[in-house]
Amino acid sequence: MIDLEGKVAAVTGGSSGIGLETVRLLLAQGASVALCARDEARLEGVRAQLQDEFPDRRILAQACDVLQGAQVQDFAKQVQTELGPVNMLINNAGQGRVSTFADTDDAAWESELKLKFFSVINPTRAFLPQLEQHADSAIVCVNSLLAAQPEPHMVATSAARAGVMNLVRSLATEFSPKGIRVNGILLGLVESGQWHRRFAAREDQSQSWEQWSSDLARRKNIQLGRLGRPEEAARAILFLATPLSSYTTGSHIDVSGGVSRHA
Considering the domain boundaries, does residue 156 fall inside one? yes
* Mean of the per-residue pLDDT values of the chain: 95
Q: What is the pLDDT of residue 60?
A: 98
The arrangement of strands across the sheet holding 88-91 comes to 59-63, 32-37, 8-12, 88-91, 138-144, 181-187, 252-255
Same domain, 206 and 109: no
Same domain, 134 and 185: yes
Question: How many distinct structural domains can be found in the chain?
Answer: 2
Q: What is the pLDDT of residue 254?
A: 96
Q: What is the pTM of this model?
A: 0.95
The HSE-up count of residue 182 (CA atoms within 13 Å, CB side) is 25
Domain range enclosing 163 = 8-190+230-255
Considering the domain boundaries, does residue 263 fall inside one? no
Contacts of 186 (CB under 8 A, 6+ apart): 143, 144, 145, 147, 148, 165, 252, 253, 254, 255, 256, 260
pLDDT by residue (tens digit) across 72-127?
999 999 999 999 999 999 999 777 889 999 999 999 999 999 999 999 999 999 99
Same domain, 204 and 106: no
